[in-house]
Structure 1
Amino acid sequence: MIFSQQRMMDILNKSSDGDRVSRGCDMFLSILIVLNLVAVCLESVESFNARYRTALFIFEAISVSIFLIEYSLRIWSVAADNDNRASTASGRRFNYIFSFTGIIDLLAILPSVLPLIMGGVDLRWLRVLRLVRLLKISHYSSALEDLFSAIYQERRSFFAALYLMGIALFLSSSLMYLAEYDAQPEKFASIPQTMWWALITLTTVGYGDVYPITPLGQTIGAFTALLGVCTVALLTGIVASAFSNQMARREAIFEAEITSALSDGVVTDDEQCHIEELREKFKITEEHARAIFALIEEKRGH
């Protein structure tokens, strides 16, 4: 069977509910990525690595071959991507190669190719670099895309909270350095070194490896801990609110499309197809979509 570029792109990208081939491809590659992460972790166990070195090598070779084929097919099929801003096939391929997902796809292959090109590469670093394959799941899940999109929508509030966090970090580091330097010069030797204490205190981690011993330092530490609760809660609240607002916006757009389609009393095949595409894009369940349809029709009836 010969696949067209458009069909291959549909298979390799996020699957739609009715596309079994695409869904099967997504599932296979997702499982392969997870197994690769498990293999990387097990390779760090010396006894396991020594016993199953050959099996791990074969699994890595098979995985890299599959990822290389996938990467090549993505470069070939992206020429049919009408959503790509480039107007030519070469331009669309160039955009993919240097996009976030394209770079991640390339980095998933490089750790196994680099030792063949460059000798003397530290295998521990290459092993860690293989963990980048986890980000390949972004092809099949919109979680990262939704996170970045939500933060971007609330970027002003988010960066304002980061700005307050930065002020708290520098202020608490400077005050603690002045308060504790004479008592603990080895632990609070400079403001940059004191920032380690300030950061773990503001984020409420508190490892306990560095802590103030003077009354003034302990007072500053208490206020820093309280300030950390406020700033971290503020950042968490902004991200949670951004997610909630994004879901509300998507539902509002979906409702508007349904209302527009029902305005003349008849939903055409093209309108139904567009609504279905929008439902899949916004990850709205069929039950939720039917409930929205029923609610809008009920409102129209009144």
Structure 2
Amino acid sequence: MNNIRKLTYEILEIGNKQHMLGRVIDIFLIALISLNVLFVILETLPSISADNHLWFHRFEVFSVLVFTLEYIARVWSAVEDDERNHHQPFWGRIRYMLTPMALIDLIVILPFYLSMVITGIDLRFMRVLRLLRVFKLTRYSSSMSLLLQVLHRESRSISAALFVLFMLIIVASSLIYFAEHKAQPDVFSSIPAAMWWSIVTMTTVGYGDVIPITAMGKIMASIISIMSLGIVALPAGLLASGFSEALRQRRRTYEKMVNLAIQDGVVDSVEDKALNQMRKALGISKEDAAHILHSNLDQKLEQDMQHDLAQLRKEIDAVLHDHCPHCNHAVKWLERRAR
């Protein structure tokens, strides 16, 4: 039973695809998730939904059954995860069920079962949760995993920036409300109503449906617009900086593995396969990987040559005691060629 559970974990866990069955299941799940998102979109078209309602329902039932089996299998085999220390049979599985990806797996199948159990409440609004199935693709996309990694790493900075932005929205809404309420009581009827104008103005969208007409209101709007330029752009800057740093860290990780592989000066077939798997897992292009490999090989060859020349100089000095000018001239020529 333990062997079957370990095999199930290795097949379902992305990044550990030593089994052909695992790669086939990955492709099948990616296709099924993509079709689910497409069908949810097509269902909103009355002309298509009316004629194919039965097929849509059958596909939904099939998808939910597949995703349910996948979820149960992931929870059952979660105790085989050495990195996350889920070895305890009960609490290990509970910890896994509380991870973000496991929660997404649960949420995307939950509306279907709730609609079968709860009949007195209209749960059609929960059908929109099926679109969350697109987030299941995060397991199979290095770009999406990189985004989640950056969001997690920069969560404190982004939270601080969003808090400052939220405070600025409240201040801007309050100021414009007191400046424009008497002149436009219907438009700026309250501070919450004025928040729509604040958000549209601070994000530089400017729909023009709500505008200040008083002199004080226009002055406030000008000040708020200028102040908000940097504040609104701050989260985007943090994300861009986080992406850049994450990409540099991935390149450094790949470079370290390349340095280990070229210690003997040659990259054999086993090392090449391992480097290729690491490249795919880190989301590094073939061109970048080839550039890193060649740069490190050239650096390794140069270091080896300098080391060999230094050893040669020591051997010549020890044997000839500087009595052979021709040998010294030859060594100096090699040193100049090496530079």
- List per-residue Cα deviations over 1:45-98 (Å, max 9, x = no partner): 344333222111111111111111111221222222222223323333222222
> TM-score scaled by structure 1?
0.86
Quick check: 2:265–2:300 contact (8 Å CA) kept in 1? no
Quick check: 1:80–1:89 contact (8 Å CA) kept in 2? no
Corresponding position of 2:289: 289
- In structure 2, stretches of 5+ residues that fail to align are 303-339
Moved more, 62-71 or 284-293: 284-293
Partners in 1 of 2:220 and 2:137 — Cα distance? Answer: 44
Taking a change above 3 Å as real, the CA distance of residues 66 and 124 of structure 1, as seen in their structure-2 partners, is same
Taking a change above 3 Å as real, the CA distance of residues 255 and 134 of structure 1, as seen in their structure-2 partners, is same
- List per-residue Cα deviations over 1:236-292 (Å, max 9, x = no partner): 122111101111112123223433454565779997776555434322234433321
Taking a change above 3 Å as real, the CA distance of residues 17 and 94 of structure 1, as seen in their structure-2 partners, is closer
After the TM superposition, list the runs of 4 or more consecutive aligned residues in structure 1 that deviate by more than 6 angstroms.
266-274
Which amino acid is 2:139 matched to?
A: H
> TM-score scaled by structure 2?
0.78
Which amino acid is 2:82 matched to?
A: N
Quick check: 1:14–1:141 contact (8 Å CA) kept in 2? no
1:168 and 2:168 aligned: yes
Quick check: 2:79–2:86 contact (8 Å CA) kept in 1? no
Quick check: 1:174–1:191 contact (8 Å CA) kept in 2? yes
3-state secondary structure, aligned to 2:90: helix
Quick check: 2:259–2:296 contact (8 Å CA) kept in 1? yes
Corresponding position of 2:321: none
Identity %: 35
Corresponding position of 2:326: none
Deviation at 1:146, TM superposition (A): 1.7
3-state secondary structure, aligned to 1:184: coil
Please give the residue correspondences for 1:139-288 in structure 2 after superposition, counting only pairs within 5 Å: 139-263=139-263, 278-288=278-288
CA RMSD of the aligned region, Å?
2.8
Quick check: 1:16–1:280 contact (8 Å CA) kept in 2? no
Which amino acid is 2:252 matched to?
A: A
Which amino acid is 1:105 matched to?
A: D
Taking a change above 3 Å as real, the CA distance of residues 20 and 288 of structure 1, as seen in their structure-2 partners, is farther
Corresponding position of 2:320: none
Corresponding position of 1:60: 60
Partners in 1 of 2:90 and 2:267 — Cα distance? Answer: 39
Deviation at 1:174, TM superposition (A): 1.7
Corresponding position of 1:124: 124
Taking a change above 3 Å as real, the CA distance of residues 97 and 18 of structure 1, as seen in their structure-2 partners, is closer
Which amino acid is 1:185 matched to?
A: P
Larger Rg: 1 or 2? 2
**Which structure would you say has the larger RCO, counting Cα contacts within 8 Å and 6 or more residues apart?**
1
Quick check: 1:16–1:23 contact (8 Å CA) kept in 2? no
Q: How many residues align?
A: 300
Which amino acid is 2:294 matched to?
A: A
- List per-residue Cα deviations over 1:15-61 (Å, max 9, x = no partner): 56875533332222122122212222232334433322211111111
Taking a change above 3 Å as real, the CA distance of residues 211 and 226 of structure 1, as seen in their structure-2 partners, is same
Deviation at 1:199, TM superposition (A): 1.2
Which amino acid is 2:93 matched to?
A: R
Which amino acid is 1:114 matched to?
A: L
Taking a change above 3 Å as real, the CA distance of residues 152 and 70 of structure 1, as seen in their structure-2 partners, is closer
Moved more, 120-129 or 270-279: 270-279
Taking a change above 3 Å as real, the CA distance of residues 285 and 91 of structure 1, as seen in their structure-2 partners, is farther
Corresponding position of 2:44: 44
